[in-house]
């Protein structure tokens, strides 16, 4: 599997294409291709954000389950040592 670009790299690529389109001094066909590339980058970024959101939700769920488990657990107090050792 090929290395996928990071979120930050994809954002930089998208910004580069946006600057190119905003400059407005490129032929129409090149502008359309640049726009299509930008749209594909947006989809990749949405996918990465969706995956990150799922990971955060899972982590939050795990934390909430752990907190609920701790609330339900009875406190453990070690018995005090007795004086009648003997």
Instruction: Quote the CA–CA distance of 47 and 42 in Å, as a whole number.
Output: 9
pTM score over 0.75? no
> Residue 1 has what pLDDT?
47
Question: H-type helices in 1-86, by residue range?
Answer: 7-23, 28-72
Structure tokens at 19: 């600057």
Instruction: Give the mean pLDDT per block of 10 residues along the chain (86 residues).
Output: 85 97 95 98 97 94 77 64 60
What pLDDT, on the 0 to 100 scale, is given for residue 86? 52
Residue 26 has what DSSP assignment?
A: S
pLDDT at position 3 is 84
């Amino acid at each position: 599997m090929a290395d996928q670009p990071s979120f930050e790299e994809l954002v930089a690529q998208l910004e580069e294409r946006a600057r190119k389109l905003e400059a407005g001094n490129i032929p129409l066909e090149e502008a359309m291709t640049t726009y299509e590339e930008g749209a594909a980058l947006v989809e990749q970024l949405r996918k990465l954000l969706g995956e990150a959101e799922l990971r955060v939700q899972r982590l939050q769920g795990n934390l909430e389950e752990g907190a609920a488990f701790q609330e339900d657990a009875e406190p453990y107090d070690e018995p005090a040592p007795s004086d009648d050792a003997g």
